[in-house]
Structure 1
Amino acid sequence: MAADMDIDFTRRNKKPRPLTEHEKDKLEEFIEAIHYSARYSDEQYEYRHVQLPKQMLKQIPKEYFDGSRGTLKLLWEEEWRALGITQSLGWEHYEVHEPEPHILLFK
């Protein structure tokens, strides 16, 4: 399904990078503060954005970041779920809102 979503796979890790237990523990305190937008859609997709607490970004492993952009990479489902993002199956992380890098866009 993801292949026909126009996702730039060069902006992802080559394979999902699991979090260590220590990394998960550091992120735990932020999970309750993750904000999920209402769903919105166009003719092709349903969308939503997920806003992470800004302080949370400092606890996310550096391998999840794109150094050239200064934002998170596009995350594999295994990665965004490990961060504590919970949503139904089928969502793909397709973009980071660069002016506000704590906002992840899903479709």
Structure 2
Amino acid sequence: MANPRYLTESERARLLEFQESIHYSPRYSDDSYEYRHVMLPKSMLKVIPSDYFNSDTGTLRILLEEEWRGLGITQSLGWAHYETHAPEPHILLFKRPINFGQ
């Protein structure tokens, strides 16, 4: 497994101002997982370090938990970033097993 790329103090300080503007969707599920999407303010993408992005697609790469939490995304344990939505690169898709923590 890859090692997380932690933010520097100055990077973290620039991102904190956006934390109150992060939007969390309601949860939805199928038989195996519950899902939610997290919408970052579009202007926040400009201050996220470039190595958090996939150079081929221009979207955020799949972030490890320490990385997305470092951006100011707050949610309970068990969530994994599994997809980015290329037409809307500020939307991150998360999932976790349906019975996580039970």
**How does the TM-score come out when normalised to structure 2?**
0.91
SS of 1:84's equivalent in the other structure is coil
* 2: CA distance, partners of 1:61 / 1:15: 16
1:61: Cα distance to partner? Answer: 0.4
Q: In structure 2, the residue corresponding to 1:71 is in which secondary structure?
A: coil
The alignment status of 1:79 with 2:72, answered yes or no, reads: no
Stretches of 4+ moved more than 3 A in 1? none
TM-score, scaled relative to structure 1: 0.87
- For 1:80 and 1:70, locate their aligned partners in 2 and report how far apart those are by CA, in whole Å: 17
Is residue 48 of structure 2 the alignment partner of residue 60 of structure 1?
Answer: yes
- CA shift at 1:15, angstroms? 1.7
Name structure 1 gaps, 5 residues minimum: 1-8
2-structure distance, mates of 1:15, 1:68: 21
Report what 1:38 is aligned to: 26
Q: Distance in 1 between matches of 2:89 and 2:27?
A: 20
Normalized per residue, the structure richer in helix is 1
* 5+ residue gaps, structure 2: 96-102
Residue by residue over 1:47-73, the C-alpha shift from the partner in whole angstroms, topping out at 9 and shown as x without a partner, is 000000000000000110001011000
| 2:35 paired with 1:47 | yes
Q: 1: distance between equivalents of 2:65 and 2:90?
A: 17
Equivalent of 2:84 in 86, 96, 107: 96
RMSD: 0.9
